[in-house]
């Protein structure tokens, strides 16, 4: 999605430790009119699939998941990162290692919100090594539901999480795929040569 | 908003410690088509004000804030609850006491995302004692911006956070105001006698 690549080039900040900060439109401030066009693009890609529900993970996934859901007219479920008083014990849980923060956290979804046989579109903001996405896919599979595909806003393609998922037959659609990223030269995208 | 009161009556679960669980449409699963009507109602209430930006707090506020923002065509900023690697030091911060969890947490917004003079609509899922909302208002005032009003999905009216804010001249619009809530009798809303 060229408009997204342009947005990343113009507003993204590359920081130490391979961090790409897109706080101006995705991770802290959400440029809602722009992110609606992102949601519309996910709809264009997955509109021929029957989608029952969108699954994402708090916090940064929620905005893009909700805006995407307006096109599919389906609910969003967001997996929660910590056990809170407001969750019942009747949850699917998994552990996710945060590559950015170097810590492991528990992620859970109440069982009643993913039913066996449901067709789930997983949406997330970033895909790098794929830990978060793998965790979400595990939750769907634990429920006996089906992952129709994964819609990712930004994939750090050199970190191979997306490649591994595709090799396992999972449809992963990333709207911006970064091939290389340096503070000096900025982002180079996989389709820059096309 | 009668449809919201009905939704709370039908799907809300009242749990120990004055907790109202609305996980089926707001706090864990988000009923996006329904929450779009909530966003539309906030638009109806605040459409005559010039709104530059919507401010909310992660995680449960993000969905309703984004869906509301589609009607106003403005960005959303969500305040963050913990200091993460992806935040610069250039932040407005405040401390919020969580009534539900009994802990204090830091909340922050990067300074560049609230500019002096901006007219801010604050959106949140719940208003009870008002700690979270007061924290968000503090952040806006620290930035030299203006709180145009607060749009709340569910107010626990007996906990008086809303009353105190209104007494201070802040416009608070809550779409469902609960007067009383018991496991035995469910929710009684402030407008049930009207």
Q: What is the pLDDT of residues A51-71, one digit of tens each?
A: 999 999 999 999 999 999 999
For the record, the structure tokens of A65 come out as 């998941």
Q: How many CB atoms lie within 10 A of CB B166?
A: 12
pLDDT of A84 over the 60 cut? no
- Residues of B (51-110) whose Cβ lies below 8 Å from A: 58-59, 62-63, 66-67, 69-70, 73-78, 80, 84-87, 100-101, 109-110
Query: Tens digit of pLDDT for each residue in A104-145?
Result: 889 999 999 999 999 999 999 999 999 999 999 999 999 999
Q: How far is A76 from chain B (nearest CA, A)?
A: 5
Euclidean distance between CA atoms A172 and B81, whole angstroms: 30
Residue B154 contacts A where some CB pair is shorter than 8 Å? no
Closest to A24 measured CA to CA, from A34, A11, A15: A11
Euclidean distance between CA atoms B63 and B42, whole angstroms: 14
State the best of A12, A20, A30 to mutate against chain B, taking most chain B CBs within 10 Å: A30
Candidate from B21, B66, B77 with C-beta closest to A67: B66
Euclidean distance between CA atoms A182 and A76, whole angstroms: 35
pTM of the complete model beyond 0.80: yes
Q: How far is B21 from chain A (nearest CA, A)?
A: 6
Chain B residues with CB under 8 Å of A21 CB are 86
CB contact under 8 A, B29 and A76: yes
pLDDT of A16 over the 90 cut? no
Candidate from B30, B74, B112 with C-beta closest to A66: B30
Euclidean distance between CA atoms A172 and A165, whole angstroms: 7
DSSP reduced 3-state for B42:
helix
Chain B residues with CB under 8 Å of A118 CB are none
CB contact under 8 A, A58 and B63: no
Query: Tens digit of pLDDT for each residue in B64-98?
Result: 999 999 999 999 999 999 755 555 569 999 999 98
Residue B187 bridge partners (DSSP): B181
CB contact under 8 A, A78 and B33: no
Q: How far is B166 from chain A (nearest CA, A)?
A: 28
The contacts of residue A169 (CB under 8 Å, 6+ apart) are: none
Q: How far is A193 from chain B (nearest CA, A)?
A: 30
Mean pLDDT within A59-86:
90
Structure-token match 């009383």, residue found? B180
CB contact under 8 A, A85 and B74: no
Q: Work out the mean pLDDT of chain A and round it to a whole number.
A: 94
Q: How far is B58 from chain A (nearest CA, A)?
A: 6
Euclidean distance between CA atoms A166 and A161, whole angstroms: 9
Percent of chain A scoring above 70 in pLDDT: 96
For the record, the structure tokens of A37 come out as 């066009």
Euclidean distance between CA atoms B31 and B34, whole angstroms: 5
Instruction: Specify whether the CB–CB gap between A75 and B31 falls below 8 A.
Output: yes
Q: For residue A149, name the pLDDT band (cuts at 50, 70, 90).
A: very high
DSSP state of B80: B
Burial (0-12, 13-18, 19+ Cβ within 10 Å), B35: buried
Q: Report in angstroms the alpha-carbon separations of A114 from B65, B86, B146.
A: 24, 31, 41
Chain A residues with CB under 8 Å of B111 CB are none
CB contact under 8 A, B62 and A100: no
CB pairs under 8 A between A and B: 127
Burial (0-12, 13-18, 19+ Cβ within 10 Å), A105: middle
Burial (0-12, 13-18, 19+ Cβ within 10 Å), B158: middle
pLDDT of the residue at A88: 55
pLDDT of A45 over the 60 cut? yes
Q: How far is A87 from chain B (nearest CA, A)?
A: 8
Find out whether the peptide bond into B59 is cis, omega within 30 degrees of 0.
Answer: yes
DSSP reduced 3-state for B149:
strand
CATH number of B34-176: 3.40.50.2020
Q: Report in angstroms the alpha-carbon separations of A193 from A156, A163, A188, B67, B189.
A: 17, 20, 10, 37, 61
The secondary structure element, H or E, covering residue B37 is: helix B32-46
The secondary structure element, H or E, covering residue B87 is: none
Give the least confident one: A44-58, A84-98, A130-144, B28-42: A84-98
């Amino acid at each position: 999605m060229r408009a997204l690549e342009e947005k990343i080039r113009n507003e993204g900040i590359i920081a130490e430790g391979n961090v790409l900060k897109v706080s101006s439109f995705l991770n802290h401030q959400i440029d809602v009119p722009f992110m609606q066009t992102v949601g519309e693009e996910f709809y264009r890609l997955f509109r021929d699939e029957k989608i029952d529900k969108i699954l994402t993970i708090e916090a940064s996934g929620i905005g893009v998941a909700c805006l995407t859901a307006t096109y599919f007219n389906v609910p969003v479920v967001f997996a929660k990162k910590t056990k809170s008083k407001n969750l019942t014990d009747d949850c699917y849980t998994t552990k996710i290692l945060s590559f950015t923060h170097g810590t492991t956290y528990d992620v859970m979804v109440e069982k009643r919100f993913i039913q066996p046989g449901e067709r789930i579109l997983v949406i997330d903001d970033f895909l790098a090594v794929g830990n978060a996405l793998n965790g979400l896919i595990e939750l769907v599979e634990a429920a006996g539901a089906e992952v129709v595909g994964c819609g990712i806003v930004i994939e750090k393609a050199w970190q191979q999480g997306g490649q591994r998922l595709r090799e396992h037959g999972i449809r992963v659609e990333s709207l911006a795929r970064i091939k290389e990223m340096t503070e000096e030269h900025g982002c180079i995208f996989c389709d820059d040569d096309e």
